[in-house]
Amino acid sequence: QFRKKRLRFGRSRIHEWGLFAMEPIAADEMVIEYVGQNIRQVVADMREKRYAQEGIGSSYLFRVDHDTIIDATKCGNLARFINHCCTPNCYAKVITIEAQKKIVIYSKQAISVNEEITYDYKFPIEDTKIPCLCRTESCRGTLN
């Protein structure tokens, strides 16, 4: 049975805001579900443009599969504050519950109190690069 982990968001050394453990988390535990509105790719494309026009600096769009994206920009939970890291302490996994696909963040290793929760965004390789700010020894330099 999953017990909700105690987490907080706060200033991150990686990028603006981040999500932090408020209790020790063991390896291979469910940390948090990435919650938002399920939308199609066409809607995601339109929203991304609209968010940029509205001056919303960060959009929180997470691809579930070829057709479905979870948009946590305006109606999400704390999971949207998890930053990318090239050597993350968590990973995202798509699971199906009652025929609905969900994104769940699991710990890869033990996580200490006040440690930032991170995962690899695994963005597709594109010509326009997004700089990575994780600053780890094995940082790839870009998110994509």
DSSP 12: -
Could you tell me if 70 and 62 are in contact, meaning their C-beta atoms sit under 8 angstroms apart? yes
Residues 24-64 pLDDT 10s? 999 999 999 999 999 999 999 999 889 888 888 677 889 89
Q: Give the pTM.
A: 0.88
Could you tell me if 105 and 34 are in contact, meaning their C-beta atoms sit under 8 angstroms apart? yes
Q: In order of start, what are the domains of the chain with their CATH numbers?
A: 5-34+76-117 (2.170.270.10)
Could you tell me if 81 and 18 are in contact, meaning their C-beta atoms sit under 8 angstroms apart? yes
E strands in 22-99: 30-34, 37-40, 61-63, 68-71, 83-84, 90-97
Say how far residue 37 (Cα) sits from the centre of its chain.
14
* pLDDT (tens place) for every residue of the chain, 144 residues total: 467 799 999 999 998 899 999 999 999 999 999 999 999 999 999 998 898 888 886 778 898 988 899 999 988 899 999 999 999 999 999 999 888 889 999 999 999 999 999 999 988 888 888 899 999 999 999 988
Structure tokens at 5: 């982990």
Q: Transcribe 121-134 into DSSP letters.
A: --PPP-SS--B---
User: Whose CA is closest to 37, among 72, 11, 89, 67?
Assistant: 72
Spatial distance between the Cα atoms of 141 and 106, rounded to a whole number of angstroms:
24
